[in-house]
């Protein structure tokens, strides 16, 4: 007499999260947006979307925001550069609004964003892999940075909308830099302080929170530990870039 063992059903593999569902969760429930991200990051999708979105914003507001900002910087440099005569400034403005100038400037934006994301991923990889000692690949770090980059879109919309109304973003502060009074004459210390405080904004805090949640999800490290390391790295980079910005801006 023979008996047969009951055949247990094979558990079904968990369904992969769709691109649209992951994007939705990034905004409404970022803690749950990372299922399967380590195996299938698809970092190129949000990177491409953010790049195209920023290009659309720059292209749509070019003459109202980009050109006034560029000319403001040129006028500032003319104060210390005697070669920047009114005639030269007029030629520069004419070039900025020419088809070639538009293509070059928008092309720079198209190149810059795909460079910034991988650079940020490198910093995240260093923080998670070397400081925290977690097993996080560079691909995982890039996926977290790329998907978290979606929450930067609202900030860009606000910046360009206000820039359109004001005819430029010069002097526009979305962070704590708004608390620093603008000096009558350029001052490198004030410029550096303002730049650092501008890095402390609600949009920056939102982005950093999403990055922390994503890093904790792919690394398995407690969120508190991830937060300490990434916040310290963010503040250190904020000080560095504010100092560089002050160094290359006019003032005593």
Does residue 86 form part of some domain?
A: yes
Give the integer Cα–Cα distance in Å for 31 and 101: 43
pLDDT at 13: 44
pLDDT at 252: 58
pLDDT at 250: 61
pTM for the predicted model, two decimal places: 0.86
- Domain range for residue 67? 42-247
Does residue 85 form part of some domain?
A: yes
pLDDT at 43: 92
pLDDT at 1: 45
Does residue 120 form part of some domain?
A: yes
By C-alpha distance, which of 195, 209, 207 is closest to 237?
A: 195
Does residue 62 form part of some domain?
A: yes
- Count the domains in the chain: 1
Does residue 103 form part of some domain?
A: yes
pLDDT at 154: 95
Does residue 217 form part of some domain?
A: yes
Query: Running along the chain, 252 residues long, what does each successive block of 10 average in pLDDT?
Result: 51 68 95 89 93 93 88 75 78 88 90 92 92 89 95 94 89 86 76 88 95 94 94 93 79 58
Does residue 36 form part of some domain?
A: no
Does residue 31 form part of some domain?
A: no
């Amino acid at each position: 007499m023979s008996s047969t063992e009951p055949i247990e059903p094979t558990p079904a593999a968990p369904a992969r999260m769709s691109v649209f569902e992951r994007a939705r969760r990034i905004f409404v429930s970022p803690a749950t947006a990372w299922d399967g991200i380590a195996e299938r990051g698809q970092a190129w999708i949000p990177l491409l979307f953010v790049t195209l979105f920023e290009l659309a914003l720059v292209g749509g507001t070019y003459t109202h925001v980009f050109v006034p900002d560029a000319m403001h910087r040129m006028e500032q440099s003319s104060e210390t550069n005697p070669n920047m005569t009114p005639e030269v400034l007029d030629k520069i403005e004419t070039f900025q609004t020419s088809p070639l100038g538009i293509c070059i400037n928008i092309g720079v934006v198209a190149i810059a964003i795909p460079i910034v994301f991988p650079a940020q991923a490198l910093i995240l990889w260093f923080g998670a892999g070397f400081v925290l000692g977690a097993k996080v690949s560079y691909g995982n770090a890039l996926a977290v940075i790329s998907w978290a980059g979606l929450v930067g879109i609202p900030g860009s919309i606000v910046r360009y909308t206000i820039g359109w109304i004001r005819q430029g973003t010069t002097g526009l502060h979305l962070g704590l830099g708004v608390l620093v009074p603008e000096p009558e004459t350029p001052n490198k210390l004030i410029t550096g302080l303002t730049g650092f405080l501008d890095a402390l904004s609600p949009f920056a805090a939102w982005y950093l929170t999403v990055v922390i949640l994503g890093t904790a999800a792919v690394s398995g490290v407690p969120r508190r530990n991830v937060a300490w390391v990434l916040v310290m790295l963010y503040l250190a980079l904020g000080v560095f870039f504010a100092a560089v910005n002050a160094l290359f801006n006019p003032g005593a």
